[in-house]
Structure 1
Amino acid sequence: MSEYLEVNRAMWDERADAHAASPDYAVERLAADPALLSDVVRFDVPRLGPVTGLRGVHLQCHIGTDTLSLARLGARMTGLDFSAPALAQARALAERAGADIDFVQADAYEALSVLPAHAFDLVYTGIGALCWLPSVSRWASVVAGLLAPGGRLFLREGHPMLWSLADPDPSGRLVVELPYFERDEPTRWDEPGSYVATEHEFVHTKSVEWNHGIGEVVSALVAEGLQITGLVEHDSVPWDAFPGFMRPVGGGEFQLTDRPWRLPHTYTLQAVAP
């Protein structure tokens, strides 16, 4: 196992239980209310369109809240993640919710070693996933290998422009400090907390990330023969990316308080296999 997988897996393994317990993931509400969708999936329902009867796979599914939401919209879902504790939480949520979802453990790059090739009508990748992968081209190859003919990719992700910014200075000024383009050398972090409300004191605080520019994501998918059918940039993001400088705008979304039109916060991309 390469160094980045060891570091990131340890970090995500420790956070699974804390995330499941945090009100930000709404696990208790999702288990109790069969009509409830995660904020992330609900945001993109107008773009997602009908998924009833589609065989779908959610790559990097974490604790399965978005996977469950897609199943509630009618898709026959499989969730894949590299963290055993995260999948344990995902399976527990699905069982409590009465949802028939398969969860499989593997790194995203190894998906085709545990899942059938060209068997899925929908490949879904949720927000905050691509930054953990060093090569977007390898990811695109996996997506193409999983999609059935005519199947589609649905991706909502943090915008690489957002990822390239340092935390605002006291005046709120935004500074481009981090890579926008994919680089061999990752960005390394050592942070004690998490992006959800939790009082847990974490031991595994290090992580390793990469940014991937919009052009790099699009080009990687096109190189695999996929046709881009949609690309929308949004002025909101489903977490408080810059505490003290963002405001909630409803539906679990946040945007910059000061001139949010300066910055694309997230994007939704769709592509179809030939």
Structure 2
Amino acid sequence: MTDYRDVNRANWDERAPAHAASAGYNVAAFARDPHHLSDVVTFDRPLLGDIDGLRGVHLQCHIGTDTVSLARLGATMTGLDFSPASLTEARRLAAASGTPVDFVESDVYGAPDVLGAGAFDLVYTGIGAIGWLPDIRRWANVVATLLRPGGRLFIREGHPVLWSLQDDREDGLLVLEFPYFEHEEPLIWEDGGTYVDTDRTFQHTTTHSWNHGLGEIVTALLAAGMTITGLVEHDTVPWEALPGTMTRLPGGEWQVTDRPRRLPHSYTLQAVRAAV
């Protein structure tokens, strides 16, 4: 059986240069403006709070725009990703923007082996990340292992209800088509494009993904010794998740145009590792 990591890595290695060149990621703004932050981190700031002086790790950091943004808020940041092409772009971004960030290559489950245990005050995970992982309990154990006692997890992610919806309906109806709960076998996708505008042609178009229910995520963190300190559901998400049915709002967020309060688009979850 082909390892899902190999399949997904090939896809993300091809996406990375296209993402770095896209208007959506706006990489040039980081070099042009020393105060520029990604739209995602700008949205997160009210709940994220003051992170100045914290040692943080951004799991599944991709090309590093959010990682660099967190470093600009005063944290000493490490970015971790399994895609070497993504990390090449991330290191280029950090150098061009004059923002020191340490980038490390590893899949999430191997993070404690390369980063050590109990080394971080903050674990940050952003939009569109945990769906590439098959086992949310294993992920939660990694988070707890990386954090020092009293350290905090901050994750904003697409809502599992959103991930369950069929995204290509011509009638605009919101229809639950895919699993809400974690499933053993991956959802296998064939998609020749990506979520940013690009004229690049991709050769590796297959990806494997999994959904994880909100209850499963919370339960996994509790079982790993974490205390949930916040859970906020949002009626926006930072990409056009349901093409043709959404409106772009100021600040880069997207929202279902018709009665958006019907649908949780994303959520922010915070948890703390128990102090010894």
TM-score, length-scaled by structure 2: 0.98
Amino acid at match of 1:191: D
Structure 1 segment 81-96 matched on structure 2, within 5 A? 81-96=81-96
Distance in 1 of aligned mates of 2:19 and 2:168: 26
Distance in 1 of aligned mates of 2:78 and 2:182: 29
Distance in 1 of aligned mates of 2:248 and 2:221: 33
Post-superposition shift, 1:171? 2.4
Amino acid at match of 2:25: Y
SS in structure 1 opposite 2:61?
coil
Post-superposition shift, 1:2? 5.4
**Contact residue 81 and residue 108 of structure 2 kept, 8 A:** yes
Aligned to 1:246: 246
Aligned residues: 274
Aligned to 1:183: 183
Structure 1 segment 36-115 matched on structure 2, within 5 A? 36-115=36-115
SS in structure 2 opposite 1:127?
coil
Distance in 1 of aligned mates of 2:148 and 2:167: 41
Aligned to 1:122: 122
Amino acid at match of 1:41: V
SS in structure 1 opposite 2:35?
coil
Post-superposition shift, 1:116? 1.7
Amino acid at match of 1:128: G
TM-score, length-scaled by structure 1: 0.98
Amino acid at match of 1:84: P
Amino acid at match of 1:146: L
Instruction: Please say if 1:16 is aligned against 2:6.
Output: no
Q: CA RMSD in A?
A: 1.0
**Contact residue 168 and residue 175 of structure 1 kept, 8 A:** no
**Contact residue 235 and residue 266 of structure 2 kept, 8 A:** yes
Comparing 216-225 with 29-38, greater Cα deviation is found at: 29-38
SS in structure 1 opposite 2:24?
helix
Distance in 2 of aligned mates of 1:160 and 1:184: 16
Distance in 2 of aligned mates of 1:80 and 1:265: 26
Comparing 133-142 with 24-33, greater Cα deviation is found at: 24-33
Post-superposition shift, 1:3? 1.6
C-alpha offsets along residues 171-216 of structure 1, whole Å, 9 cap, x if unaligned? 2111100000001011110011000111111111100000000000
Amino acid at match of 2:149: P
Post-superposition shift, 1:30? 1.5
C-alpha offsets along residues 33-81 of structure 1, whole Å, 9 cap, x if unaligned? 1111100010010000000000000000000000000000000000000
Aligned to 1:266: 266
Post-superposition shift, 1:32? 1.4
Distance in 1 of aligned mates of 2:244 and 2:15: 24
Post-superposition shift, 1:169? 2.7
**Contact residue 168 and residue 174 of structure 1 kept, 8 A:** no
